[in-house]
Amino acid sequence: MKILIVNAGSSSLKYQVMDMTDESTLAKGLIERIGIPGSCLKQTVGGEKYMIELPMNDHIEASKQMIKALTDPDHGVIKSMDDISAVGHRVVQGGETFTTSTLIDEACIEAIKSNIPLAPLHNPANLMGIKACLQVMPDKPMVAVFDTSFHQTMPPQAYLYGFPIEYYERLRVRRYGFHGTSHRYVSKRGAQFLGKDMRDLRIITCHLGNGSSICAVDKGISVDTSMGLTPLEGVLMGTRSGTVDPAALQFIMKSDNIDIDEMLEILNKKSGFLGVSGVSSDMRDVEKAAEEGNKHAQVALDMLVRGIKKYIAAYAAIMGGVDVIVFTAGIGENSPELREAVLSGMEFMGISIDREKNRVRGKETDISAENSRVKLLVIPTNEELVIARDTKELVSELA
Ligand code: ADP
């Protein structure tokens, strides 16, 4: 069975074809600048890259070009779309409606629409991708996989904010959490790697990329996570501030005479590594600047390290301990320095890192010292594989 995985943004469309017989990736593609001059499609098949530039005014045209590239006799991977059994779509916000991945039908589309107020930037783009695919592949079964659904198991004491309860009851303002497919994948994979059953483990997963979130996975289910109503909450990120005192916003807005939209733009796009270091939103640049003596870059790194440590200790406290800590995503997989800084000085919790084993990038590895009571793992994430597996499972039930 071959599955097409689609992740649509407002002006982009990422796709992958996976062969589920061995879960291998046959093709990866990225279409950028949809509806903007200079649209282009880049596709990689077995290390060979293919790129075309041509105008694509909307997601429907982009989907048609994706099909054309995938079935291209020279650069493609399939003879025709008949080879594709189903399509899995990434959807950012499933609200409280979706606790698992779901087959896409009219009711599902309406429910994704009804969650637009909670994710005004992401859900409309994801919907455009779904609608475009339905138009160009009307007969394919399609599945929606939500970033939020893994976290729907959180108890109210984890997901409620301290507002008057009516804001939850009337507006559904609560913690939803994101990166659910990643936290789900790496926690499960971590348990498998150790030859253990998820139901016997208290796992803390650290997804550290441009956007970062930490998750407490108790006996296989998410019981708390650092991102909130939106992906702005939690630790310091590439351009996002992470958690701040909300009253600080009023202080800044009044003194600089800016409105809430501008304030949120600052919090989402100009803060985090970029804002604090003044160097870059990219971890590699910040690490390099810190090495060269840039104090602002160093303090940005220290803030991230401190933030992660605090979540690890807090989540261990709510789970009554921790058995496994997993690092994943761009920074988590590739920065031994960051992992060492986070895990150092935590011996009081039974956490002890092996500095030699920790010298690893992007590879499943146990980096715990012999005497570490807590297992420390690097597990590269694979969100596309989760989407493909869920799609396969739901579509197989149709047969
Ligand atoms: P996204 O959240 O956009 O999916 P990624 O998971 O790709 O992001 O993570 C991007 C981050 O990973 C960037 O800050 C980048 O600097 C960092 N990163 C990638 N490779 C390395 C590396 N070798 N060392 C340190 N950081 C790295």
| Long-range contacts of residues 22-27, Cβ cutoff 8 Å, at least 24 apart | 23/385, 23/388, 23/389, 25/384, 26/2, 26/77, 26/78, 27/70, 27/76, 27/77
Per-residue confidence (pLDDT) for residue 13, from 0 to 100 = 96
The DSSP bridge partners found for residue 27 are: 17
203 and 130 assigned to the same domain? no
Per-chain mean pLDDT for the chain: 97
Residue type, 82: D
For residue 296, pLDDT beyond 90: yes
Task: Reduce the DSSP state of residue 26 to 3 states and report it.
Answer: strand
Mention every residue, 6+ apart, whose C-beta is less than 8 A from residue 41.
29, 30, 31, 51, 52, 54, 56, 62, 65, 66, 69
DSSP, res 104: -
Per-residue confidence (pLDDT) for residue 246, from 0 to 100 = 97
Task: Give the mean pLDDT of 52-66.
Answer: 95
> Is residue 334 lining ligand 1, measured as CB closer than 6 Å?
yes
Atom of ligand 1 nearest to the CA of 273: 14
211 and 105 assigned to the same domain? no
SS3 content of the chain, % helix, strand, coil (to 5): 40, 20, 35
Catalytic status, residue 366: no
- How far apart are alpha carbons 39 and 28 in whole angstroms? 17
Query: Which tens digits make up the pLDDT trace of 80-115?
Result: 999 999 999 999 999 999 999 999 999 999 999 999
Instruction: Look up the pTM and report it.
Output: 0.95
126 and 219 assigned to the same domain? no
- Three-state secondary structure readout of 150-207: HHHHCCHHHHCCCCCCHHHHHHCCCCCCCCHHHHHHHHHHHHHHCCCCHHHCEEEEEE
Per-residue confidence (pLDDT) for residue 395, from 0 to 100 = 95
- How far apart are alpha carbons 38 and 52 in whole angstroms? 10
Task: Give the mean pLDDT of 315-341.
Answer: 98
Residue 122: C-alpha distances to residues 11, 16, 94, 365, 377 (Å): 11, 19, 11, 33, 31
Query: Which tens digits make up the pLDDT trace of 221-265?
Result: 999 999 999 999 999 999 999 999 999 999 999 999 999 999 999
Atom of ligand 1 nearest to the CA of 381: 6
> Is position 156 within any domain?
no
> Is residue 65 lining ligand 1, measured as CB closer than 6 Å?
no
Residue with token string 């990736």: 25
> Is position 163 within any domain?
no
Atom of ligand 1 nearest to the CA of 286: 16
When divided into structural domains, the chain yields a total of 2
- How far apart are alpha carbons 350 and 343 in whole angstroms? 10
CATH number at residue 347: 3.30.420.40
135 and 49 assigned to the same domain? yes
Q: How many angstroms separate the alpha carbon of residue 224 from the centre of ligand 1?
A: 24
Per-residue confidence (pLDDT) for residue 38, from 0 to 100 = 94
For residue 121, pLDDT beyond 90: no
237 and 337 assigned to the same domain? yes
Residue nearest to atom 19 of ligand 1 (CA): 330
- Tokens for 7? 């992740």
- Tokens for 55? 């105008």
Task: Give the mean pLDDT of 361-381.
Answer: 98
Pairing type for strands 84-91 and 142-146 reads: parallel
356 and 216 assigned to the same domain? yes
State what percent of residues in the chain have pLDDT above 90: 98
For residue 60, pLDDT beyond 80: yes
Per-residue confidence (pLDDT) for residue 248, from 0 to 100 = 98
- How far apart are alpha carbons 40 and 45 in whole angstroms? 17
As a whole number of Å, the CA-based R_g of the chain is 22
- Tokens for 161? 């904010």
Q: How many angstroms separate the alpha carbon of residue 256 from the centre of ligand 1?
A: 33
8 and 138 assigned to the same domain? yes
Phi-psi region of 326 (alpha: psi -120 to 50; beta: other; left: phi over 0): beta
Task: Give the mean pLDDT of 264-286.
Answer: 96
316 and 241 assigned to the same domain? yes
Per-residue confidence (pLDDT) for residue 399, from 0 to 100 = 76
* Whether the Cβ atoms of residue 349 and residue 374 lie closer than 8 Å to each other: yes
Query: Judging by beta carbons within 10 Å of its beta carbon (0-12, 13-18, 19+), is residue 82 exposed, middle or buried?
Result: exposed
> Is position 172 within any domain?
no
Per-residue confidence (pLDDT) for residue 344, from 0 to 100 = 97
335 and 227 assigned to the same domain? yes
For residue 220, pLDDT beyond 90: yes
Angle between helices 295-319 and 283-291 (to 10 degrees): 120
Atom of ligand 1 nearest to the CA of 207: 6
Confidence of residue 360 (pLDDT cuts 50, 70, 90): very high
Q: Which of 83, 139, 147, 285 is catalytic?
A: 147
- How far apart are alpha carbons 369 and 376 in whole angstroms? 9
> Is position 180 within any domain?
no
For residue 75, pLDDT beyond 90: yes
Residue with token string 């969650």: 115
126 and 202 assigned to the same domain? no
201 and 82 assigned to the same domain? no
Q: How many angstroms separate the alpha carbon of residue 301 from the centre of ligand 1?
A: 14
> Is residue 209 lining ligand 1, measured as CB closer than 6 Å?
yes
For residue 336, pLDDT beyond 80: yes
**Nearest Cα residue to 243 out of 265, 270, 272:** 272
**Nearest Cα residue to 223 out of 174, 157, 178, 167:** 157
Task: Give the mean pLDDT of 387-399.
Answer: 93
> Is position 183 within any domain?
no
Task: Give the mean pLDDT of 332-340.
Answer: 98
- Tokens for 331? 């920074």
113 and 228 assigned to the same domain? no
Question: Domain limits at 55?
Answer: 2-146
- Tokens for 128? 């455009």
- How far apart are alpha carbons 156 and 137 in whole angstroms? 40
> Is residue 181 lining ligand 1, measured as CB closer than 6 Å?
no
* Whether the Cβ atoms of residue 241 and residue 271 lie closer than 8 Å to each other: yes
Task: Give the mean pLDDT of 371-396.
Answer: 97
> Is residue 284 lining ligand 1, measured as CB closer than 6 Å?
yes
* Whether the Cβ atoms of residue 354 and residue 368 lie closer than 8 Å to each other: yes
Query: Which tens digits make up the pLDDT trace of 130-181?
Result: 999 999 999 999 999 999 999 999 999 999 999 999 999 999 999 999 999 9
CA angle 378, 232, 299 (to 5 degrees): 65
